[in-house]
Amino acid sequence: MKPQSEALIVIDVQNDFCPGGALAVDEGDKIIKGINTLMPAYQTIILTQDWHPTGHSSFASSHGGKEPFSMIDMPYGPQVLWPDHCVQGSNGAQFHSDLDVDQAHMIVRKGFRKQIDSYSAFFENDHETPTGLEGYLRTRGVEILTIVGLATDFCVNYSAVDGAKLGFKMNVDQSLCRGIDLDGSLTAAQKLMRENNVNLI
Ligand code: VGL
Ligand code: ZN
């Protein structure tokens, strides 16, 4: 059993990020068994759930004529435009049915503000608006985090780097992550995580 100072964060293991989903990550479902097996060792388990309103500003369809996976400038910086995904209440937004959600202690929903995307479990993409997860972890005495889930190069990466910047000791178990890999984003993410003292397992 891990000590109370360690927590597991499971990022966005939702139908839309698994094969057949709207923003499917290759082999996204292959990590689920391993995550379920890892969970019982932790006294604090957090799941994140990408949770967008219809017409969310990260959807290409909200910017008439723009293609999915193209870029746009938002007030908070450059943003990838995605296919519509993880719409609140849709089947695609549900956790994959194989994920053992019953073991989780906390579910953090993110990306629910129409005008701003949120990759990280800690902050929205303006790097300012908090999700509240930091306070939850600190009040429970958590100092060390292990991150698994989808996608390595977006939500896992942003969560790991933000956690490290906040002073948590961050581990990313890459065997229990899968990436989208847009134009080398996976290699760039690994580099950024290493530069921010994220321990890549
Ligand atoms: C994610 C793109 C858009 C992720 C979420 O979970 O990595 N990626 N929304
Ligand atoms: Zn999203």
| Angle of the 157-165 helix axis to the 185-195 helix axis, nearest 10 | 10
* 8 A C-beta contact, residue 17 and residue 23: yes
The Cα 10–Cα 171 span in angstroms is 12
47 CA to centre of ligand 1 in angstroms: 14
Structure tokens at 73: 């400038």
pLDDT of residue 75: 92
Structure tokens at 151: 């996608």
**Which residue is closest in CA terms to ligand 1's atom 4?**
155
Ligand 1 atom, smallest distance to 158 CA: 7
Structure tokens at 41: 């060792």
Between strands 144-150 and 6-11, the pairing is parallel
pLDDT of residue 65: 84
The Cα 173–Cα 78 span in angstroms is 28
The Cα 86–Cα 30 span in angstroms is 19
pLDDT of residue 160: 98
Candidate from 9, 14, 17 with most ligand 1 atoms within 8 A of CB, to mutate = 17
Residue 82 forms beta bridges with which residues?
Answer: 59
* 8 A C-beta contact, residue 199 and residue 170: yes
Which of these is catalytic: 29, 50, 86, 110?
A: 110
Ligand 1 atom, smallest distance to 48 CA: 6
Q: How many residues does the chain have?
A: 201
The Cα 24–Cα 56 span in angstroms is 18
Under DSSP, is residue 200 helix (H, G, I), strand (E, B) or coil? strand
The yes-or-no answer on residue 110 being catalytic is yes
The Cα 57–Cα 65 span in angstroms is 14
111 CA to centre of ligand 1 in angstroms: 9
Which of these is catalytic: 16, 18, 153, 155?
A: 155
**Which residue is closest in CA terms to ligand 1's atom 1?**
155
The Cα 197–Cα 135 span in angstroms is 21
Q: Which residues of the chain have pLDDT under 70?
A: none
Pocket of ligand 1 (CB under 6 A): 12, 17, 50, 82, 119, 150-151, 154-155
The Cα 128–Cα 59 span in angstroms is 21
